[in-house]
C-alpha cells in the first residue's frame, strides 16, 4: 500500500509568492495532520483534521497560513504571502480514528523561501 | 498536556543495547506513551507505544514503571542504521482528539 504522499518534495520560491503544499493521506485514514520542522523549533503541529473537518488549528502561525481538506483523499497547506522564516520541512501525517492511534508521516516537503 | 524530558544525545556502539529514558511527571490517567524514530530527510516513524508495564515488538521494548512518570525505550543490539533521533511523546486528548507534542528528541549515534 502507498504511504502518505506529499508534493512537491522540494520547493524554492521568492518572498511574497504563494506556496501550496499537497498531501494525500493513506486510504481509509480519517485523521490528517500538518507539521512543520525547523532546527530552531523542532517538530510543530500546525493543524489537524478529522473526517475532513479542521479540529485544531491553534498551531497555525499566522493568517498567512491556511489549510483545507476538500475530501478524504486530499489536503492542501497554503502560505500566502510566503516569507523567508517559513523555510522549513513540512510533513503531512494521517491516522485512523482520533485517539492514541499511530500517525503515519509522509516524506515531507522541503520549502526554501528566498 | 504532559511535557516530556529526554537526553539530548547518546552514543553507542554496534551490538550494544541502548536504553533511552524519558520523564513525564505530569502524565494523565488516559495518556499513552509513544516513541517515534526519525532518520535524516524522512518523516518520523512509529516505533512502539504502551500504557503500563512492558511492551515488546520486533523492533524495541518499552518499560513503564507503575507510577508511569517515566519510560525507557530499549533497543537491543543496535546497528549503524539505528542512528536517528528518537522522540518520546505523551499524548494527549485535547478536546477529545489526539494531540502529539514532539519534544527535542534524543539524537542517537551508533558507532562501528
The Cα of A62 is separated from the nearest Cα of chain B by a number of Å equal to 19
Query: Across the interface, do B97 and A50 touch by the CB < 8 Å criterion?
Result: yes
How far apart are the C-alpha atoms of A45 and A56, rounded to whole Å?
9
φ and ψ of B68, to 5 deg: 60, 20
- Interchain proximity B49–A100, CB inside 8 Å: yes
| Summary mean pLDDT of chain B | 89
Distances (CA, A) of B47 to A48, B38, B71: 22, 10, 14
Please return the burial class of A20, using the count of CB atoms within 10 Å of its CB with bins 0-12, 13-18 and 19+: middle
Mean pLDDT of B9-20: 97
Lowest mean pLDDT among A27-31, A75-79, B99-103: B99-103
Query: Quick one: pLDDT at residue A113?
Result: 98
Instruction: Provide the 10 A C-beta neighbour count for residue A91.
Output: 27
How distant is the Cα of B34 from the closest Cα of chain A, in angstroms? 9
**pLDDT at A99 > cutoff 90:** no
Most confident of A37-46, A53-62, A75-84: A75-84
Would strands A10-13 and B32-38 be described as parallel, antiparallel, or unpaired?
A: unpaired
Subunit contact B95:A106, Cβ cutoff 8 A? no
pLDDT digits (tens, 9 = 90+) for B30-43: 888 899 999 998 99
Any idea which of A41-45, A77-81, B53-57, B78-82 has the lowest mean pLDDT? A41-45
pLDDT of residue B96: 53
Per mean pLDDT, which range of A90-94, B22-26, B75-79 is the poorest? B22-26
A113 sits in which H/E element: strand A109-113
Q: Which residues have CB under 8 Å from B17's CB, separation 6+?
A: B74, B75, B76, B77, B78
Better-predicted residue by pLDDT, B33 or A19: A19
Q: Nearest residue of A to residue B33 by CA position? A: A100
Indicate the residue of A43, A55, A56 with minimum beta-carbon distance to B102. Answer: A43
CA–CA distance, A114 with A82 (Å, rounded to integer)? 9
Residues in chain A within 8 Å Cβ distance of B1: none
Q: Which residues of B3-40 are buried (b: 16+ CB within 10 A; e: fewer)?
A: ebebeeeeebeeeeebebebebeebeeebbbbbbbbee
- Closest residue of chain A to B37, computed from CA coordinates: A105
Report the Cα–Cα distance between both ends of chain B, in Å, rounded: 39
The fraction of chain A above a pLDDT of 90, given in percent, is: 76
Q: Greatest CA separation found in chain A?
A: 39
Spell out the alpha helix ranges (H) of A4-52: none
Task: Give tens-digit pLDDT for A68-93.
Answer: 999 999 999 999 999 999 999 999 99
pLDDT of residue B93: 54
Amino acid at each position: 500500500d502507498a504511504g502518505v504522499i506529499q508534493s512537491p518534495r522540494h520547493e524554492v520560491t521568492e518572498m511574497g509568492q504563494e506556496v501550496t503544499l499537497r498531501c494525500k493521506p493513506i486510504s481509509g485514514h480519517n485523521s490528517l495532520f500538518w507539521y512543520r520542522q525547523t532546527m530552531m523549533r523542532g517538530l510543530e503541529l500546525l493543524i489537524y483534521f478529522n473526517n475532513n473537518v479542521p479540529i485544531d488549528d491553534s498551531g497555525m502561525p499566522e493568517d498567512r497560513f491556511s489549510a483545507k481538506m476538500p475530501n478524504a483523499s486530499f489536503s492542501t497547506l497554503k502560505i500566502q504571502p510566503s516569507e523567508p522564516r517559513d523555510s522549513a520541512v513540512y510533513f503531512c501525517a494521517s491516522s485512523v480514528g482520533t485517539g492514541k492511534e499511530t500517525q503515519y508521516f509522509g516524506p515531507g516537503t522541503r520549502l526554501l523561501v528566498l | 498536556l504532559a511535557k516530556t524530558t529526554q537526553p539530548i544525545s547518546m552514543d553507542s556502539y554496534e551490538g550494544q543495547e541502548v536504553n533511552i529514558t524519558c520523564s513525564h511527571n505530569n502524565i494523565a490517567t488516559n495518556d499513552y506513551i509513544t516513541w517515534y524514530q526519525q532518520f535524516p530527510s524522512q518523516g518520523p516513524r512509529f516505533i512502539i507505544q504502551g500504557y503500563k508495564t512492558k511492551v515488546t515488538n520486533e523492533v524495541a521494548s518499552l518499560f513503564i514503571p507503575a507510577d508511569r512518570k517515566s519510560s525507557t525505550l530499549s533497543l537491543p543490539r543496535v546497528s549503524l542504521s539505528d542512528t536517528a533521533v528518537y522522540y518520546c511523546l505523551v499524548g494527549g486528548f485535547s478536546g477529545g482528539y489526539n494531540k502529539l507534542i514532539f519534544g527535542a528528541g534524543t539524537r542517537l549515534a551508533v558507532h562501528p
